[in-house]
Amino acid sequence: MGTLGVLGLELVQMDTPPTTAYLQIYTDKRCKANCQFCAQASGSSADLAHIARGMYIPHDLEAVVMRLKMAYDRGYLARACIQTALYDTWWEDTVHLIKRIREESGIPVSLSVFPLSNEHLEILMSLGVNEIVIPLDACTSELFDKIKGKSTGGPYSWENHMDGIKRASRIFQKWELIS
Ligand code: SF4
C-alpha cells in the first residue's frame, strides 16, 4: 500500500513514504512453499492480496512500470524490490517484469527470491538486477525448519538457503563471505 501511495495509484496518508518500491508479483495460484507467516503459503486460506502481514493490492503492470519511472526520475524512489512466490511460471513472470522496468528506467532493482541456480543468477545479472535477497526469516537452522523448512511440508532447507546465499554473493560479487 505504501508503494501504491508513492506511485499515486492509491490514496494513502503517509508521514514517512517509503523510498523503496515493493513489487510483489500477483498470482491466483498459491505458493508451493508453506512459510508459516505468509498469506500466500500453500497451507494458508488467507486473502491472496496479502503476503506475510502486508497488503499487496493488484494493479496494472504497465501503470506501475510507468509510475515507477516517474517516481525514480523525480527522486521519490531509490530502489525497486521485486518479490515473487514459488509457482509454475514464476520465472517467466519475474523476467517479464524486470525487462519492462529496465526498458523504462535505471532504478536500482533487487529481487527477493528463494535459492536459484547459478545459471538463473547470471541471467538476472545480465537483465540488470543489482542485488539478490534470499530471506532466511529465522536465525537458526531449527527455527528455519519450523517456520519455513521441511517441518512445514515446504521445499526449503537451511542448508540449501545458505548455499544459495553463498553462490549469489559470489556471482554478484558484492562482498566475500567468510566461510
Ligand atoms: S516463499 Fe515467499 S510467497 Fe512463498 S510462502 Fe514463503 S514467504 Fe510466502
Among the listed ranges 42-46, 47-51, 96-100, 153-157, which one has the minimum average pLDDT value? 47-51
For residue 38, name the pLDDT band (cuts at 50, 70, 90).
Answer: very high
Q: Is the CB of 38 within 6 Å of ligand 1?
A: yes
pLDDT band at 75 (very low <50, low <70, confident <90, very high): very high
In terms of C-beta density within 10 A (0-12 exposed, 13-18 middle, 19 or more buried), how is residue 14 classed?
exposed
Query: Which ligand 1 atom is nearest residue 85's CA?
Result: 3
Range of the domain at 150: 2-178
Residue 178: its pLDDT value, please?
46
What is the number of structural domains in the chain? 1
Span 113-146, pLDDT tens digits: 999 999 999 999 999 999 999 999 999 999 999 9
CATH number at 144 reads 3.20.20.70
CA distances from 150 to 10, 36, 41, 147 (A): 38, 12, 14, 9
State residue 51's pLDDT score. Answer: 74
Average pLDDT, the chain: 94
Q: Which residue out of 86, 113, 146, 160 has the highest number of ligand 1 atoms within 8 Å of its CB and is therefore the one to mutate? A: 86
Of the candidate ranges 9-23, 42-56, 70-84, the one whose mean pLDDT is the lowest: 42-56
State yes or no: pLDDT of 179 exceeds 80: no
Confidence of residue 49 (pLDDT cuts 50, 70, 90): confident
State if residue 85 touches ligand 1 by the CB under 6 angstroms criterion: yes
Contact by Cβ (8 Å): 110, 124: no
Q: Which among 25, 40, 146 is the best mutation to test ligand 1's pocket, defined by most ligand atoms within 8 Å of the CB?
A: 40
CB atoms within 10 A of CB 174: 11
pLDDT for the residue 174: 61
